[in-house]
Structure 1
């Protein structure tokens, strides 16, 4: 359909704001993803997330250089030609398994942050759901099926050779206009036509019984991710935000500066005496703010039980205490352990051996800093606390830990964990906020007859309320199964 006819059709078609979402449990909806189900209509940010995840800065740079070429092709040739340029730049030569991994672990968080409230209101009320998009199906399907409950996903198909994407679109072409309409007809050839069509691509909407256009409006606030049928609790990838072309350029320009800065911060932090580390890292642009009263009596073994945000949590807590402590972990890269300015001991997942190790640390009069979640979580949720600490200590100080980063996440489940502290310190101004809560009352410990699980849950609740986080029963194993398809066992990249 030509631009003039599209505009005329849009003027005659009611907007999504006039569509009722009531009594549609038996209805089928077909919604356009780009600019309809999502507030944003650009494919670039999501392709950029995959590009950085599978190829780092070089691949992101290639995609950024291709963007103006794609815009020119879109203007001079067709929308389809421009899309093909972006797909080629992002996917050519990349393992298909790597694209699938990024689509499952990285993109859902960013898609969930961009859902159009009115389209979602109608879409979620319908029984059977179909989504159409010009984007490659391989990158959108995990989110649409797992988090939005889509039954049918129709997207552009890409070709591959011996497990590697060629970057080329298959014979069906990019799903736009009449190609999208043909795909919808084929998908519903044995099941009638959709009851509701939502979008801006009128060839496919004309096949639906009811049609609603989603107008472009500034200032639309996306749906709160917590209201989705399945909120995105676990996600991976190093980039904090969706990269627009401008942000992608800033990331590329900052990256070499960030590498030098992070190396400087990591190595200086590893050699400076722990009593002076907080002042030094603040000077280097990494402030650590403290709330609550720092315990004064550290003469005998105290367990500082923390929420877990990055591999540097125990170090940050120790710098606030101004003294050497010991931390324990299930899996830390050897290089990270070598650079740690505090003592580190590894747990074995053998409960008896781990209990003996912790008891030895405490009996020696050392202070222990531990994160009983067992792994990091980026979102405002707390994972289930292991109860082992409660069985072995009565002097327990809950510590609420939060971090603020602007460009890069300092955690990964699928990548190289030894790079975690470097990525954290690559941010222009990474901020730690440490809140020390009161020493756990004696009547809330195992010494007063409480079970270890009751104590662990109570500490989790205290920290959750302090941070405004939701407590869950999810575990380290749940995280790694969701993101890396492993159990997160010690060794490898886990």
Structure 2
């Protein structure tokens, strides 16, 4: 495949080529003597609009940084739990390889984690699952040092480039990433990591190009860990280098979520925890019991009435917290005896409508868009598939509402973090009032959501596999959707009502409302619009 030409300035490309050669073992020395050590961290204004070259592991990440959890995430999320188990079993042996050199250890980790994986899937997981865990390791002081820089080039020595590029570019506004490559054959990784001594870039006219690179690189500022592999490189070819000591770095703090350069709304992957070695051992030890629990709990909720299945689930560790019950006055019951109620809830997992039905202790109907046929088949409540045609969907939902209670999730997709996506306004046109339901979930091991079409039918089972999954259900006061006297109705009014209901739910949950949509989520995490085979066409 022919690579597209880079859009970066020629000076930045020169810095990049120089660092690649330096990482591969080709160090070129200046004739000048070494300068005295500069302060550990530069003032932010000093790097304003300058080109900065930063050591990812030495400067940006907090110490000590273990690479094992991130390779385990690649093995499990892009591969399988069996591959993750293999990596876990071999890890003590891989640690022994550190005695022979860090490079041998890194190559072995890459071979076990990447061999045979599809390049496209690894890139997706690196962008969708790894950033959440990488962001937890970012040092606040390290990031603030170059946040006002004009151009930032990140250099990694502990990870292959593909593992960190998506995180650095998407969430930290890094312009380019330099790191070692893994060989790809026919769209799959063969597990071979480039030799540290090998040249990553081979360009004709090397000696002439070096003269150009020396002059261009004199304008860059280096941020590096003192004594690291990159310290010598940065000090030789950057006009100024700031070297950080371990003592300096111990005082650095993790980056708070409210100071993320870009808010982390969407992420993917099944693992809800960082799989360190001991955490991974605990997960695989628990896994057989978790599978049994998932089967038992699913059977209980699918076959038994709620008054039995809910207490039975609690015995196995499931927790359901009903914060408030729906308030139905006698007059409303009498006037709407033949008409169902419309429950509007935020979307956390595919189990949301079932949880609402359990809270009400009566049957409801749930409308679905992109739910797999398997999920519809095993659902213990009635489901109705919509078509994405507004008029047809409205007709179907009105008919369902006339026959009984209806549960809708106007976000159209799940969101794991404390955000609410934009609400589709169609529900506001179905009834004169709606009943908002605030849902919150907690898991300790596995996420019960996925953007992978082939795996979506497994979402409820993964939620049930957690040792102590929790649902918090709060039935809120009704919201009137009919236009007030003298107020104009129509689509504009429906949008205002949808925004009002979104705000009511956000305040009850302590979440932040957004205007992001289902399409935004799937384009970020999966590169598609989020439909699965069997969806109705527009």
Task: Give the TM-score, by structure 1 length.
Answer: 0.89
Which stretch has the larger CA shift, 191-200 or 396-405? 191-200
**Residues 139 and 173 of structure 1, relative CA distance in 2, 3 Å threshold:** farther
What is the aligned partner in structure 2 of residue 456 from structure 1?
498
User: Which residue in the other structure is 1:375 paired with?
Assistant: 413
| Secondary structure, counterpart of 1:22 in structure 2 | helix
**Shift in Å at residue 214 of structure 1?**
5.0
1:170 and 2:194 matched:
yes
Aligned 8 A contact 2:47 2:146 in 1 = no
The worse-fitting range, judged by mean Cα deviation, of 234-243 and 214-223 is 214-223
The alpha-carbon deviation at position 187 of structure 1 amounts to 11
1:232 pairs, out of 264, 273, 276, with 264
CA shift for structure 1 position 332:
1.4
> Gaps (5+ residues) in structure 1?
1-11, 176-184
Q: Output the aligned Cα RMSD.
A: 2.6
Q: Offset at 1:189?
A: 5.2
> Aligned partners of 1:186, 1:350: CA distance in 2, in Å?
63
Distance 2:287 2:253 in 1: 31
SS of residue paired to 1:166? strand
The reply to whether residue 125 of structure 1 matches residue 148 of structure 2 is yes
Contact 2:49 2:148 (C-alpha < 8 Å) held by counterparts: no
| Conservation of the 8 A alpha-carbon contact between 2:37 and 2:243 | yes
Counterpart of 2:413 in 1: which secondary structure?
coil
- Paired residue secondary structure (1:294): coil
CA separation in 1, counterparts of 2:161 and 2:348?
32
Matched, 1:215 2:214: no
Shift of 1:196: 3.1
**Distance of aligned partners of 1:15 and 1:381 in 2 relative to their CA distance in 1, 3 Å threshold:** farther
State the Cα deviation string for residues 414-472 of structure 1 (Å, max 9, x = none): 251110000001100100001111111x3x54465460000000000111111111111
Give CA-to-partner distance per residue, 1:38-59, whole Å, 9 cap, x none: 2252211111111111222211
CA distance in 2, matches of 1:492, 1:388: 23
Does residue 488 of the first structure (1) align with residue 530 of the second (2)? yes
1:79 maps to what in 2? 102
1:189–1:476 Cα change, 3 Å: farther
For the residue of structure 2 that corresponds to 1:159, the secondary structure is: strand
2:7 corresponds to: none
1:355 touches 1:392 (CA, 8 Å); kept in 2? Answer: yes
How far apart, in 2, do the equivalents of 1:123 and 1:111 lie? 18
Query: Residue 390 of structure 1 contacts residue 446 of structure 1 at CA under 8 Å; is this kept in 2?
Result: no
Instruction: Please point out which of 35, 48, 52 is paired with 1:29.
Output: 52
> CA contact under 8 A between 1:276 and 1:322: conserved in structure 2?
no
- Deviation for aligned residue 1:203: 2.2
Aligned 8 A contact 2:344 2:436 in 1: yes
Aligned position for 1:305: 344
Which is higher, the Rg of structure 1 or of structure 2?
A: 2
Deviates most, 101-110 or 456-465:
101-110
Contact 2:366 2:383 in 1 (8 A): yes
Q: Which residue of structure 2 lines up, in the alignment, with residue 206 of structure 1?
A: 235
Q: What SS does structure 2 have at the residue aligned with 1:402?
A: strand
Per-residue CA distance 1:199-234 (angstroms, 9 max, x = gap) = 342223323312131536668542123423322211
Q: Secondary structure at the match of 1:143?
A: helix
* Aligned counterpart in structure 1 of residue 129 of structure 2, from 98, 103, 106: 106
Aligned length: 472
Using the TM superposition, give the Cα deviation of residue 488 of structure 1 relative to its aligned residue in structure 2, in angstroms: 1.4
Unaligned runs of 5+ in 2: 1-35, 200-209
**Cα distance change on mapping 1:80 and 1:15 into 2, 3 Å:** farther
Deviation for aligned residue 1:106: 1.0
Q: CA deviation at 1:278?
A: 2.5
* Match runs of 1:87-166 below 5 Å: 87-134=110-157, 135-166=159-190
Looking at structure 1, the residues matched to 382 and 198 of structure 2 have their Cα atoms a distance apart, in angstroms, of 55
Calculate the TM-score normalised by the size of structure 2.
0.82
For residues 190 and 265 of structure 1, the distance between their equivalents in structure 2, rounded to whole angstroms, comes to 67
Seen in structure 2, the aligned counterparts of structure 1 residues 29 and 492 have a Cα distance that, compared at 3 Å, is farther
Range with bigger deviation, 272-281 or 410-419:
272-281
Q: In 1, distance between residues paired with 2:211 and 2:354?
A: 58
* CA 1:392–1:62: 2 relative to 1, 3 Å: same
